[in-house]
Amino acid sequence: MRAAGRRRGILAGLALWVAVLAAGCGGLIQGDPSTLVLAAGQVPSGFHLLSKGTYTNADVAQAFGISASAVTSSMQRVTGYRSAFVRNVTAANMSQGPVRIDSVVSLYQGAVPAGSALNLEIQANKQRITGLQTLSLGSVGQQSYSFAYNQADSTINATLRFVDVYWRERNAIAAISVAGVKGSFSDSEAMQLARTQDALLKRAP
């Protein structure tokens, strides 16, 4: 009996140690989501803030064509934030780098629903975007995807390229989107910005 009691005590202590370790190294992100997206000083020079604001469950519901209550209950999404930056362009400098950068974050109740939401987002993009190309830009966070697509723009008589990186860090889903005239920027710029944002997520309490 005493041996069995000791084993139970050891197992209980081990479980507590694992729980403490997990909390210290990878607890849930619960901070202000506005601090988890890129700020003006974290994007390339020449860009200025176009917009920023809370990315609500109603926004997500509209994007996926489901109810806001389903986003809250089924997807277990809590809140989010997004910011957008643009570069002042002219006909002369339009092809000298990206023209828009979007930074987004969504917080979920746990890592599992966040992972499910990430997979849902990727599958939705594959279904709605024609000519989607999977990229090999490296990895970021604990689970990541990167892809690109081109889109003709008759207003500027050019083809635009969009490069997106989606990833999960603990219970957060983040995304970086970089857009510009095709051939004017390197796809890897999106991954560089994603790593900058992921550093914010890794430091978040």
pLDDT in tens, 34-81: 999 999 999 999 999 999 999 999 999 998 888 999 999 999 999 999
CATH number of the domain enclosing 70: 3.40.1000.70
Do 157 and 63 share a structural domain?
yes
Of residues 190 and 11, more confidently modeled: 190
- How far apart, in whole angstroms, are the C-alpha atoms of residue 11 and residue 22? 16
Q: What is the pTM for the complete model shown?
A: 0.85
Better-scored residue on pLDDT, 10 or 179: 179
What does the radius of gyration of the chain's CA atoms come to, in whole angstroms? 20
Q: How many domains, in total, are found in the chain?
A: 2
- Domain of residue 13, residue span: 1-26
One domain, residues 57 and 18: no
* Contact status, residue 72 vs residue 57, Cβ threshold 8 Å: yes
Give the residue among 106, 112, 113 at the shortest CA–CA distance from 197. Answer: 106
Residue 67: how many other CB atoms lie within 10 Å? 13
Whether residues 65 and 151 fall in one domain:
yes
Residues 3 and 86 in one domain: no
Two tokens, residue 98:
């990206």
Of the candidates 178, 205, 162, the residue with the CA atom closest to the CA atom of residue 38: 178
Say whether pLDDT at 16 is over 50: no
Q: Output 11 or 5, whichever has higher pLDDT.
A: 5
State the average pLDDT for the chain: 89
Structural contact between residues 111 and 172, judged by C-beta atoms closer than 8 angstroms: no
Q: What percent of the chain has pLDDT over 70?
A: 87
